Amino acid sequence: MTEAQDDVMKYAPDHSTFLESMDCRNSLVTVIDDNGNKRGIGTGFVIYDGPPRSLVLTCQHVVEWGVHVAVRKATAEGVEEYEAEVVHADIGTDVALLAVQGLPPSLALALVPPSQEDVGRCAVSLGFCNPLELFEPSALARLPAPSPGSLKEPGFKTARKSSAGVQNTSLILTCIAMEGMSGGPVVNKRGVIGMNKSISLDGQTLYAVSTSTIIQMLKKWCGFPVNGNTPLMDVLQHFQGLC
Protein backbone atom coordinates (compact mmCIF):
# COMPACT_ATOMS: atom_id res chain seq x y z
CA MET A 1 0.00 0.00 0.00
CA THR A 2 1.36 3.40 -0.96
CA GLU A 3 1.46 6.47 1.29
CA ALA A 4 -1.22 8.06 -0.87
CA GLN A 5 -3.50 5.08 -0.34
CA ASP A 6 -2.90 5.33 3.41
CA ASP A 7 -4.08 8.94 3.27
CA VAL A 8 -7.27 7.83 1.52
CA MET A 9 -7.99 5.41 4.34
CA LYS A 10 -7.48 8.17 6.91
CA TYR A 11 -9.65 10.79 5.28
CA ALA A 12 -12.07 8.72 3.20
CA PRO A 13 -12.53 5.47 5.16
CA ASP A 14 -14.64 2.54 4.12
CA HIS A 15 -18.22 3.63 4.82
CA SER A 16 -19.50 0.41 6.40
CA THR A 17 -16.44 0.08 8.67
CA PHE A 18 -16.80 3.66 9.82
CA LEU A 19 -20.50 3.13 10.61
CA GLU A 20 -19.57 0.00 12.57
CA SER A 21 -17.16 2.03 14.66
CA MET A 22 -19.81 4.67 15.34
CA ASP A 23 -22.08 1.96 16.76
CA CYS A 24 -19.29 0.97 19.17
CA ARG A 25 -18.81 4.41 20.77
CA ASN A 26 -21.49 3.95 23.42
CA SER A 27 -19.51 0.99 24.79
CA LEU A 28 -16.51 3.17 25.63
CA VAL A 29 -15.71 4.78 28.98
CA THR A 30 -13.14 7.26 30.20
CA VAL A 31 -10.75 5.57 32.65
CA ILE A 32 -9.24 7.71 35.43
CA ASP A 33 -6.43 6.58 37.75
CA ASP A 34 -5.74 8.95 40.66
CA ASN A 35 -2.96 8.24 43.18
CA GLY A 36 -3.52 11.44 45.14
CA ASN A 37 -0.61 13.28 43.56
CA LYS A 38 -1.04 12.52 39.88
CA ARG A 39 -4.01 11.81 37.69
CA GLY A 40 -3.91 9.66 34.57
CA ILE A 41 -6.55 9.33 31.91
CA GLY A 42 -7.25 6.77 29.23
CA THR A 43 -10.03 4.87 27.53
CA GLY A 44 -11.69 1.53 28.19
CA PHE A 45 -14.39 -0.53 26.50
CA VAL A 46 -17.01 -3.01 27.67
CA ILE A 47 -16.44 -6.66 26.75
CA TYR A 48 -19.06 -8.13 29.12
CA ASP A 49 -22.24 -6.35 30.13
CA GLY A 50 -23.31 -7.29 33.68
CA PRO A 51 -24.98 -8.10 35.98
CA PRO A 52 -23.54 -8.36 38.47
CA ARG A 53 -20.66 -6.28 37.15
CA SER A 54 -19.52 -5.14 33.73
CA LEU A 55 -16.05 -6.08 32.52
CA VAL A 56 -13.98 -3.34 30.88
CA LEU A 57 -10.69 -3.69 29.03
CA THR A 58 -8.00 -1.03 29.12
CA CYS A 59 -4.20 -0.78 29.05
CA GLN A 60 -2.15 -1.65 32.11
CA HIS A 61 -0.23 1.63 31.88
CA VAL A 62 -3.52 3.55 32.15
CA VAL A 63 -4.17 2.07 35.62
CA GLU A 64 -0.58 1.48 36.72
CA TRP A 65 -1.05 3.14 40.14
CA GLY A 66 -4.33 1.38 40.90
CA VAL A 67 -4.98 3.45 44.02
CA HIS A 68 -8.31 4.96 43.01
CA VAL A 69 -9.61 3.87 39.64
CA ALA A 70 -12.92 5.08 38.21
CA VAL A 71 -14.69 5.20 34.87
CA ARG A 72 -16.89 7.95 33.48
CA LYS A 73 -19.71 7.49 31.01
CA ALA A 74 -22.14 9.88 29.40
CA THR A 75 -25.78 9.13 30.31
CA ALA A 76 -29.12 10.84 29.76
CA GLU A 77 -28.60 12.64 33.08
CA GLY A 78 -25.07 13.81 32.24
CA VAL A 79 -21.65 12.33 32.93
CA GLU A 80 -21.67 9.71 35.67
CA GLU A 81 -18.64 8.31 37.50
CA TYR A 82 -18.37 4.72 38.75
CA GLU A 83 -15.74 3.08 40.91
CA ALA A 84 -13.75 0.40 39.16
CA GLU A 85 -11.73 -2.53 40.48
CA VAL A 86 -8.56 -3.64 38.72
CA VAL A 87 -9.20 -7.38 38.56
CA HIS A 88 -6.03 -8.26 36.64
CA ALA A 89 -3.21 -6.34 34.97
CA ASP A 90 -0.12 -7.46 33.07
CA ILE A 91 2.75 -5.06 32.44
CA GLY A 92 4.34 -7.20 29.72
CA THR A 93 1.34 -7.24 27.39
CA ASP A 94 -0.05 -3.92 28.69
CA VAL A 95 -3.50 -5.44 29.25
CA ALA A 96 -5.75 -4.74 32.24
CA LEU A 97 -9.24 -5.92 33.14
CA LEU A 98 -11.60 -3.79 35.24
CA ALA A 99 -14.85 -4.73 36.98
CA VAL A 100 -17.44 -1.95 37.30
CA GLN A 101 -20.59 -2.11 39.41
CA GLY A 102 -23.71 -0.27 38.24
CA LEU A 103 -22.49 0.71 34.78
CA PRO A 104 -25.48 1.43 32.48
CA PRO A 105 -26.22 -1.32 29.95
CA SER A 106 -23.81 -1.22 27.04
CA LEU A 107 -23.15 -3.31 23.97
CA ALA A 108 -20.36 -5.76 24.76
CA LEU A 109 -17.83 -5.42 21.96
CA ALA A 110 -16.75 -8.63 20.24
CA LEU A 111 -13.05 -9.52 20.30
CA VAL A 112 -11.89 -10.89 16.94
CA PRO A 113 -8.28 -12.02 16.32
CA PRO A 114 -6.74 -10.11 13.38
CA SER A 115 -5.62 -11.96 10.29
CA GLN A 116 -3.41 -11.38 7.28
CA GLU A 117 -6.56 -10.65 5.28
CA ASP A 118 -7.12 -7.51 7.38
CA VAL A 119 -3.86 -5.94 6.16
CA GLY A 120 -4.49 -2.88 3.99
CA ARG A 121 -8.14 -2.73 4.94
CA CYS A 122 -9.87 0.02 6.84
CA ALA A 123 -9.68 0.03 10.64
CA VAL A 124 -10.88 2.72 13.04
CA SER A 125 -9.27 3.59 16.37
CA LEU A 126 -11.62 4.94 19.05
CA GLY A 127 -10.77 6.82 22.22
CA PHE A 128 -11.16 9.91 24.37
CA CYS A 129 -8.54 12.37 23.13
CA ASN A 130 -7.04 14.56 25.83
CA PRO A 131 -3.76 15.89 24.41
CA LEU A 132 -3.49 18.87 26.75
CA GLU A 133 -4.25 16.82 29.88
CA LEU A 134 -7.35 18.85 30.61
CA PHE A 135 -9.67 17.26 33.14
CA GLU A 136 -12.60 19.65 33.08
CA PRO A 137 -15.96 17.81 32.99
CA SER A 138 -16.50 19.00 29.42
CA ALA A 139 -13.31 17.28 28.31
CA LEU A 140 -14.56 13.96 29.66
CA ALA A 141 -18.18 14.24 28.59
CA ARG A 142 -17.89 14.21 24.83
CA LEU A 143 -18.23 11.09 22.71
CA PRO A 144 -15.01 9.24 21.91
CA ALA A 145 -13.24 10.34 18.75
CA PRO A 146 -12.90 8.04 15.74
CA SER A 147 -9.57 7.91 13.92
CA PRO A 148 -9.71 5.90 10.67
CA GLY A 149 -6.73 4.38 8.92
CA SER A 150 -5.55 0.97 7.79
CA LEU A 151 -3.81 -2.04 9.29
CA LYS A 152 -0.18 -2.36 8.17
CA GLU A 153 1.04 -5.29 10.28
CA PRO A 154 -1.19 -7.81 12.12
CA GLY A 155 1.37 -9.73 14.18
CA PHE A 156 4.43 -7.66 15.09
CA LYS A 157 6.20 -9.32 18.03
CA THR A 158 7.06 -6.79 20.72
CA ALA A 159 10.34 -6.62 22.60
CA ARG A 160 8.59 -6.46 25.97
CA LYS A 161 8.59 -9.66 27.99
CA SER A 162 5.26 -11.41 27.81
CA SER A 163 3.47 -13.41 30.45
CA ALA A 164 4.40 -17.10 30.38
CA GLY A 165 2.74 -18.90 27.50
CA VAL A 166 1.17 -15.75 26.02
CA GLN A 167 2.34 -14.55 22.60
CA ASN A 168 2.91 -10.80 22.91
CA THR A 169 2.04 -9.26 19.55
CA SER A 170 1.08 -5.79 18.42
CA LEU A 171 -0.69 -4.25 15.45
CA ILE A 172 0.76 -1.38 13.43
CA LEU A 173 -1.82 1.02 11.99
CA THR A 174 -1.86 4.27 10.06
CA CYS A 175 -4.51 5.80 12.34
CA ILE A 176 -3.65 9.19 13.84
CA ALA A 177 -3.79 8.95 17.63
CA MET A 178 -3.43 11.27 20.62
CA GLU A 179 -2.95 11.10 24.37
CA GLY A 180 -5.97 9.68 26.16
CA MET A 181 -6.82 7.09 23.50
CA SER A 182 -4.79 4.33 25.17
CA GLY A 183 -7.08 1.43 26.05
CA GLY A 184 -9.61 2.20 23.32
CA PRO A 185 -10.60 -0.40 20.72
CA VAL A 186 -9.43 -0.73 17.13
CA VAL A 187 -12.45 -1.77 15.08
CA ASN A 188 -12.88 -3.17 11.59
CA LYS A 189 -15.83 -4.83 9.82
CA ARG A 190 -15.44 -8.02 11.86
CA GLY A 191 -15.19 -6.49 15.35
CA VAL A 192 -12.43 -5.39 17.73
CA ILE A 193 -9.04 -6.49 16.38
CA GLY A 194 -6.86 -4.62 18.86
CA MET A 195 -6.52 -2.10 21.69
CA ASN A 196 -4.72 1.26 21.40
CA LYS A 197 -1.39 1.14 23.21
CA SER A 198 1.06 3.79 22.03
CA ILE A 199 1.83 6.23 19.25
CA SER A 200 4.87 7.26 17.26
CA LEU A 201 6.58 10.55 18.05
CA ASP A 202 4.94 12.24 15.06
CA GLY A 203 1.51 10.83 15.96
CA GLN A 204 1.12 9.25 12.52
CA THR A 205 1.53 5.59 13.53
CA LEU A 206 -0.54 3.74 16.09
CA TYR A 207 0.58 0.62 17.92
CA ALA A 208 -2.13 -1.61 19.37
CA VAL A 209 -2.23 -4.78 21.46
CA SER A 210 -3.46 -7.58 19.24
CA THR A 211 -6.79 -9.09 20.22
CA SER A 212 -5.08 -12.47 19.96
CA THR A 213 -2.83 -11.46 22.87
CA ILE A 214 -5.79 -10.07 24.84
CA ILE A 215 -7.78 -13.30 24.48
CA GLN A 216 -4.78 -15.35 25.60
CA MET A 217 -4.33 -13.14 28.67
CA LEU A 218 -8.01 -13.49 29.60
CA LYS A 219 -7.72 -17.27 29.36
CA LYS A 220 -4.50 -17.31 31.39
CA TRP A 221 -6.05 -15.22 34.17
CA CYS A 222 -8.91 -17.72 34.42
CA GLY A 223 -6.63 -20.73 34.42
CA PHE A 224 -7.62 -21.97 30.95
CA PRO A 225 -5.02 -23.12 28.37
CA VAL A 226 -4.04 -19.98 26.44
CA ASN A 227 -4.19 -21.84 23.12
CA GLY A 228 -7.19 -23.96 24.05
CA ASN A 229 -10.63 -23.92 22.48
CA THR A 230 -12.55 -22.52 25.45
CA PRO A 231 -15.23 -20.14 24.05
CA LEU A 232 -14.55 -16.52 24.97
CA MET A 233 -18.01 -16.12 26.49
CA ASP A 234 -17.26 -18.97 28.89
CA VAL A 235 -14.03 -17.22 29.87
CA LEU A 236 -15.83 -13.91 30.52
CA GLN A 237 -18.60 -15.56 32.53
CA HIS A 238 -15.92 -17.29 34.59
CA PHE A 239 -14.64 -13.86 35.64
CA GLN A 240 -17.97 -13.08 37.28
CA GLY A 241 -17.21 -15.75 39.83
CA LEU A 242 -13.72 -14.33 40.45
CA CYS A 243 -14.44 -10.59 40.54
If pLDDT is split at 50, 70 and 90, which confidence band does 243 have?
very low
Q: Which of 179, 190, 60 is nearest to 127 (CA)?
A: 179
Instruction: Say how far apart CA 162 and CA 183 lie, in whole Å.
Output: 18
Work out the average pLDDT over 212-232: 93
| Residue 33 confidence (pLDDT) above 90 | yes
- Average pLDDT, rounded, for the chain: 86
* Window from 14-18, 152-156, 159-163, 213-217 with minimum mean pLDDT: 159-163
Q: What is the pLDDT, as a whole number, of residue 79?
A: 83
The model's pLDDT over 60-70, given as tens digits with 9 standing for 90+, comes to 999 998 779 99
Q: What is the pLDDT, as a whole number, of residue 63?
A: 95
CB atoms within 10 A of CB 23: 11
The model's pLDDT over 151-201, given as tens digits with 9 standing for 90+, comes to 987 766 655 556 678 989 999 999 988 888 999 999 999 999 999 999 888
Domains contained in the chain, CATH given: 3-24+110-217 (2.40.10.10), 28-101 (2.40.10.10)
Instruction: Say how far apart CA 19 and CA 33 lie, in whole Å.
Output: 31
Q: What is the pLDDT, as a whole number, of residue 3?
A: 52
Work out the average pLDDT over 212-222: 95
Contacts 24+ apart (CB under 8 A), 221-225: 221/87, 221/88, 221/97
* Residue 37, C-beta contacts closer than 8 angstroms, at least 6 positions apart: none
Helices 232-242 and 211-222: crossing angle in degrees, nearest 10, is: 50
Q: What is the pLDDT, as a whole number, of residue 125?
A: 96
Q: What is the pLDDT, as a whole number, of residue 35?
A: 80
Q: What is the pLDDT, as a whole number, of residue 172?
A: 93
* Window from 80-84, 125-129, 157-161, 219-223 with minimum mean pLDDT: 157-161
* Window from 4-8, 33-37, 111-115, 180-184 with minimum mean pLDDT: 4-8
Is-contact 172 204, C-beta < 8 A?
no
Is-contact 177 206, C-beta < 8 A?
yes
pTM of the model: 0.90
If pLDDT is split at 50, 70 and 90, which confidence band does 214 have?
very high
